[in-house]
Chains A and B, each alone.
Chain A
Amino acid sequence: MVLPADMVECWPIFYSQRAEPKLSGLIGNNLTSHKQDRCLFQHLHIRLRAGELVHLKGPNGAGKSSLMRILVGLSSPEEGNVSYDGVDISEPAVANNIVFIGHKSGLNGLLSAEENLTYWSAQHQLDVSNAEIYEALAALNLVGMEEVPIKNLSAGQQRRVALARLWLKPATYWLLDEPFTSLDAEGITLMETAFAEHVSKQGAILMTSHQALSERVGRVRVEHLDYRL
């Protein structure tokens, strides 16, 4: 549906008055953010629907990571709001439907891959058995690495362990900040196949990456974020 421009400005009100069904998908509405008193983006609208992969592009420092962190609720925008299927990000229940993997792996170096993922699943209230964790690690070609402390794994292997979360949590929304960092060609192929499968199952992916995605992924919508002074 196309809304007139002035309606877009105040569309939350517009919709509540009309009492229409809530908008589905991830919606970032009217987002404004500053970093070190520099404006990253202002009045930004972004929408991610189920069954869609959005590739967020932009030069370094444009605010891609900041936008991602706002969209998952790690930082709050100065203006605007974020909602998932019509539910505001501040509701704790929203977390059940999101997996976010950022620059930092979120893995403790002293714990093994298996321990890291076990505790992570416990935190996210997932009923995941040990076998399932081994399966997920095997899917990422990490057989034999399950019990090794993370700090002894290579950067690419660590990234794979971090990405194994996508196999463990049945979430619709995947928000991935540079998921391909330090992955080898085989790892990238693996991930791209997984993306295509997730999208085909009505999942939604928002990702940043400085490298282009191959055709394996299928249809990709590209959004640009410009660097501003």
Chain B
Amino acid sequence: MWKWLHPYAKTERAYQLCNTLKPWFWLGALGCLSIGTVWGLLFAPADYQQGDSFRIIYIHVPAAILSMGTYVAMAVAALVGIVWQWRTAFMSMIAMAPVGALMTFIALFTGAAWGKPMWGAWWVWDARLTSELILLFLYFGVMALYAAFDDKQQAGKAAGVMALVGVVNVPIIHYSVEWWNTLHQGATISKFDNPSIAAEMLWPLLINLLGFALFIGAVTGVRLQNEIIRRERHRPWVQQLAAQNLDDKGEKHHAV
């Protein structure tokens, strides 16, 4: 039902949609992240067991949740692209990939940093950290596959297939690793499983989660716009846009 949409209009419309949404995303991300982080780091009560070191969850947990979420979003975009042959879907998929990989990296880094005071080691083969590590590899795979093709249209489709294969695997990997972990190390390490969390600790976490999500949206928007411009640089509307931009800059120079 989407196929009748003219492909040129689609990229152009996607570009404009990004333009409209971007300021709101940046604003929301900045607001949520500063409120959530300040609240979480300075005002939320300390944990009775872990003291202040637990505060890293305000970074770690949103990053971890959204690293998985971004991967699923990529797979959804890939599916849309494959089913409806929508060029912009593949573009947005590949725009998301490095952002998701960054989130995964943040989750891994903060997890390791949290591990040092908690377990006395920078790296412990904890189930969740291991799944995150494998997720990072999956991101690398998709990005490497995309980079390997010269024809970016082909690249998008290929990377999309890989993202779908990966997303089928993510739950299998997650549960297999969790199961492997209980098998090998028993239940001694379960610090991540906080059974319940106090409301005054939870609120800043949720706000930060929203902030991270908006941040991912904003960065993806910028990357999608870049991708569209790079891919469509021969199209008239992009050249018009470039000419307009040059004109604007010229005017500013005159004003100065």
Q: Which residues of A contact B (CB under 8 A)?
A: 34-39, 78-79, 229
17 A–B pairs (Cβ distance < 8 Å), ordered by A: A34-B153, A35-B151, A36-B150, A36-B151, A36-B152, A36-B153, A37-B152, A37-B153, A37-B231, A37-B232, A37-B234, A38-B234, A39-B234, A78-B7, A78-B85, A79-B7, A229-B234
Q: Which residues of B contact A (CB under 8 A)?
A: 7, 85, 150-153, 231-232, 234
CA distance A36 to B156 in the complex (A): 12
The residues of B that contact A34 with a CB separation of less than 8 Å are 153
Majority SS at the chain B contact face: loop
CA distance A39 to B8 in the complex (A): 12
15 extra A-B contacts, CB within 8 A, seeds A35-B151, A36-B152: A34-B153, A36-B150, A36-B151, A36-B153, A37-B152, A37-B153, A37-B231, A37-B232, A37-B234, A38-B234, A39-B234, A78-B7, A78-B85, A79-B7, A229-B234
Majority SS at the chain A contact face: strand
Least Cβ–Cβ distance between A88 and chain B, in angstroms:
15
Query: CB-nearest residue of chain A relative to B233?
Result: A37
Least Cβ–Cβ distance between B120 and chain A, in angstroms:
53
Least Cβ–Cβ distance between A34 and chain B, in angstroms:
7
CA distance A79 to B152 in the complex (A): 18
CA distance A121 to B231 in the complex (A): 42
Query: CB-nearest residue of chain B relative to A229?
Result: B234
The residues of A that contact B152 with a CB separation of less than 8 Å are 36-37
Query: CB-nearest residue of chain B relative to A75?
Result: B154
The residues of B that contact A36 with a CB separation of less than 8 Å are 150-153
The residues of A that contact B7 with a CB separation of less than 8 Å are 78-79
Query: CB-nearest residue of chain B relative to A32?
Result: B7
CA distance A35 to B155 in the complex (A): 12
Least Cβ–Cβ distance between B100 and chain A, in angstroms:
25
CA distance A37 to B152 in the complex (A): 8
Least Cβ–Cβ distance between A20 and chain B, in angstroms:
24
The residues of A that contact B150 with a CB separation of less than 8 Å are 36
The residues of A that contact B85 with a CB separation of less than 8 Å are 78
Least Cβ–Cβ distance between A41 and chain B, in angstroms:
14
